[in-house]
């Protein structure tokens, strides 16, 4: 019986798709099989959601910084990295998860503020090449600084005892409680940012500063403070994401890079400057990863880049992006 034939026979008899041995670049049977099974569908959708929400936390900072400051923060991954390392160190010394998260967020907020005021503010208005170079220079510097302080080997924070519990069963799918916390934090951040920018006075000032900084400063508002604040906020969100990810991922200098690339893809697809876009984009990427790893196990990454190209070509400002003035 040929491998493919055996495949089909099994599919008829079982809900869980069976794979043959050997590298199949395309495994649409597994994909369709999963879509047909409710347990699989729920689990894969939840994992897509989980992946997406963490990505959203990182990407929303990036998109915020671009929307208000008109600068692409290529060093965003470094804030994620620092958030994780600060959290891990705080946890090592205090044993408190909450304190670790706080340190991660506060530390990166401070870092973001300093970075913006001292360095980024000098390259506003310069062309994108200069901004890219300044940010990239800092990625190099930060990676080596982390290496010098914490060492080159990978480290682990460990899951706090409070979360070392049995995973929950929700609608037939498996969800670890820690990830529920993660999703919760990300959703709260999304709502606070979205409503905050739309409804509060500060939000209006920020949006005004994004639209017409000259006017805003003519009204007597300190735009420098606004810029610093927004950058600090964006950095803090990335740092918080890093801190939240630290219990489940190994820490290593340079860990920011892969997150940067993915959050980049998310913001491009969702639209630079749009929080809703970052949310939708992140969930989309999460789903592509989750279902893509079933159907296209060897080309999942390529799939994401392909999607990015398609969006850029058909709608360069992204799904929800506004035209940059």
Please, which of residues 109-168 interact with another protein by CB under 8 A? 119, 122-123, 126-130, 132-134, 136-141, 143-145, 147-148, 152-159, 163-164, 166-167
Which residues are within 8 A (CB) of 168 and not within 5 positions of it... i.e. 6 or more apart?
174, 175, 176, 177, 180
Applying the rule CB under 8 A, the residues between 71 and 90 that interact with another protein are 72
Cβ closest to another protein, residue 26 vs residue 225: 26
Which residues are within 8 A (CB) of 172 and not within 5 positions of it... i.e. 6 or more apart?
38, 39, 42, 43
Report the nearest approach of another protein to the CB of residue 132 (Å): 7
Report the nearest approach of another protein to the CB of residue 128 (Å): 6
Judged by CB under 8 A, does residue 203 bind another protein? no
Neighbours of 86 (CB within 10 A): 24
Reported as type and span, the H/E element at residue 182 is helix 177-199
Q: By rule CB under 8 A, what count of residues binds another protein? A: 90
Report the nearest approach of another protein to the CB of residue 38 (Å): 12
Applying the rule CB under 8 A, the residues between 283 and 302 that interact with another protein are 289-290, 293-294, 297-302
Burial call 183-208: b when 16+ CB within 10 Å, e when fewer: bebbeebbeebeeebeeeeeeeebeb
Stretch that binds another protein, among 17-25, 98-106, 107-115, 224-232 (CB under 8 A): 17-25
Applying the rule CB under 8 A, the residues between 246 and 265 that interact with another protein are 247-255, 258-259, 261, 265
Report the nearest approach of another protein to the CB of residue 98 (Å): 18
Nearest by Cα to 246 from 107, 56, 101, 74: 101
Cβ closest to another protein, residue 17 vs residue 107: 17
Report the nearest approach of another protein to the CB of residue 216 (Å): 23
By three-state DSSP, how is residue 325 classified? Answer: coil
Give the x/- contact pattern for another protein in 30-69, rule: CB under 8 A.
----x----xx--xx-xxx-xx--x---------------
- The DSSP annotation for 25-90 comes to S--HHHHHHHHH-HHHHHHHHHHHHHHHHHHHHHHHHHHHHHHHH----TTHHHHHHHHHHHHHHH
């Amino acid at each position: 019986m040929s491998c493919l034939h055996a495949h089909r026979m099994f599919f008829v008899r079982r809900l869980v798709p069976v794979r043959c041995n050997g590298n199949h670049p395309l495994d649409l049977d597994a994909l369709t099989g999963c879509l047909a099974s409710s347990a699989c569908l729920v689990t894969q959708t939840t994992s897509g959601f989980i992946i997406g929400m963490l990505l959203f936390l990182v990407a929303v900072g990036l998109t915020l910084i671009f929307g208000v400051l008109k600068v692409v923060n290529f060093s965003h991954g470094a804030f994620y990295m620092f958030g994780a390392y600060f959290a891990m160190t705080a946890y090592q010394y205090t044993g408190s998860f909450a304190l670790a998260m706080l340190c991660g967020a506060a530390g990166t907020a401070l870092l973001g503020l300093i970075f913006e005021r001292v360095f980024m503010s000098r390259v506003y208005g310069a062309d994108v090449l200069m901004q890219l170079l300044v940010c990239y220079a800092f990625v190099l510097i930060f990676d080596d600084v982390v290496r010098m302080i914490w060492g080159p080997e990978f480290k682990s924070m460990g899951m706090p005892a409070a979360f070392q519990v049995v995973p929950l069963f929700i609608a037939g799918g498996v969800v670890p409680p820690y990830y529920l916390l993660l999703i919760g934090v990300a959703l709260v951040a999304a709502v606070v940012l979205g409503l905050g920018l739309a409804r509060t006075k500060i939000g209006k000032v920020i949006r005004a500063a994004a639209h017409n900084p000259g006017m805003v400063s003519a009204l007597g508002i300190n735009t420098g403070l606004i810029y610093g604040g927004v950058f600090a906020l964006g950095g803090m969100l990335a740092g918080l994401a890093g801190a939240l990810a630290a219990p489940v991922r190994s820490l290593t200098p340079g860990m920011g890079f892969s997150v940067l690339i993915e959050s980049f893809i998310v913001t491009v697809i969702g639209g630079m400057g749009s929080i809703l876009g970052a949310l939708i984009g992140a969930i989309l990427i999460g789903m592509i990863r989750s279902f893509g790893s079933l159907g296209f196990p060897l080309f999942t990454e390529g799939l994401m880049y392909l999607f990015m190209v398609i969006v850029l070509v058909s709608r360069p400002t992204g799904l929800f992006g506004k035209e940059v003035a």
